[in-house]
Amino acid sequence: MTIDERGEGRGEEGRERASPARQPAINAPWPVTALCALFLGLYFLQTLAPSPDAVLARFGFAPADLAAGRWGGLVSALFVHGNWAHVLLNTLGALAFGAPVSRLFGTRAVGAATFFAFFLVCGVFSSLAYALLHWGAPYLLVGASGGVSGFMGAASRMLERRGGGLAPFASRTVVGMAFAWVLVNVIIGFVGLGVTGGAPIAWEAHLAGYFAGLLLIGPAARLFTKL
């Protein structure tokens, strides 16, 4: 997120293994590819707008919006981006880290809805956390990286799964990924990253989204899966 200063289950998994020739080129559950297509399609439409800055102003989110009673940007800001590099980076992140989350929830209607809701909750939480830290600031947050960071936090608990459950918070992988993400974001918060067109990076929102995903994946899995 940048600041503009202006297997369904084991049965499906088994069938995929039995017929590898039929696997798609991008082996990701359909909710993930749909979300990525949404990112890219909406940004393409954004580039066609007569005034891209007006699109950011209309659909981005600023902490000052909360004081004015404007809450819609908490959601809409997740689907507008600063440039092609920005949206492509978030799309790749969603493909990499959203896939295990989608497989956990499954690809039927309830699982897909849970996957999309998980993304939105993590993204909204990331923006709210940023707003609390920068109350009243006019800077616009744009981009899906708060929700994508939530996928990353959730995925960290799936890399050392034992007995079908999620890895404990104290596992080496969970702790290591959290430490690395904090370090990376603190660094880019000070030196920047060359994908944002010169706009500062809302690294605080990244961290809030990450820890939202890390903490919420357990309750979500208990509610909507058989874990």
Degrees (nearest 5) of the Cα angle 197, 202, 208? 150
Nearest to 4 by CA among 223, 197, 134: 197
Tell how far CA 8 is from the center of its chain. 20
* H or E segment to which residue 147 belongs: helix 145-155
Q: pTM for the whole thing?
A: 0.86
Residues contacting residue 104 through CB under 8 Å, at least 6 positions apart: 158, 217, 221, 225, 227
Nearest to 152 by CA among 196, 89, 202: 89
Where are the domains positioned within the chain?
A: 2-224
pLDDT tens over the chain, length 227 residues: 766 655 444 444 444 444 444 545 468 999 999 999 999 999 999 999 999 889 999 999 999 998 888 999 999 999 999 999 999 999 999 999 999 999 999 999 999 999 999 999 999 999 999 999 999 999 899 999 999 999 999 999 998 877 678 999 999 999 999 999 999 998 887 776 554 445 668 899 999 999 999 999 999 999 998 77
Q: Superfamily for 2-224?
A: Rhomboid-like (1.20.1540.10)
